[in-house]
Amino acid sequence: MKLEMNDKDLKQGLFGLVLAIVEVIRDTLRIQALKRMEGGSLTEDEINRLGVTLMELDKAIEHLKEEQGVTEAVRSVREGLDDWVDSMVQGLTDPYGIAPSRQTNKEKGICT
């Protein structure tokens, strides 16, 4: 069975994957920023700059997704990554499968 793909689909898929990874990194940075804020290790000026920078990053990511037409590709990759991470965490915290299964972000109504 021969798999046929055109260049546009391949480029969109790859770009969608890259942007999904960038979103994961952005989310991690946001979590770390919140921890530092709650820990009191940032000044008000640093908090403001960090907030502005994260908002600019959000806008840049959204602009790239819309411009390249990969919004759905990114969403699909993120759902797959989020589900995979949830199942890995579940496996590490409950290796015998005793705890009830966790809902996926999509089932919880959380948009990523």
Quick one: CA dihedral 88, 89, 94, 95, positive or negative?
Answer: positive
Q: Residue 80: count other Cβ atoms within 10 Å of its Cβ.
A: 12
96 with 42: CB under 8 angstroms? no
Please return the burial class of 61, using the count of CB atoms within 10 Å of its CB with bins 0-12, 13-18 and 19+. Answer: middle
pLDDT reported for residue 107: 56
- Per-residue pLDDT tens over the stretch 35-82: 999 999 999 999 999 999 999 999 999 999 999 999 998 998 888 888
pTM of the model as a whole: 0.68
Percent helix, strand and coil across the chain, each rounded to 5? 75, 0, 25
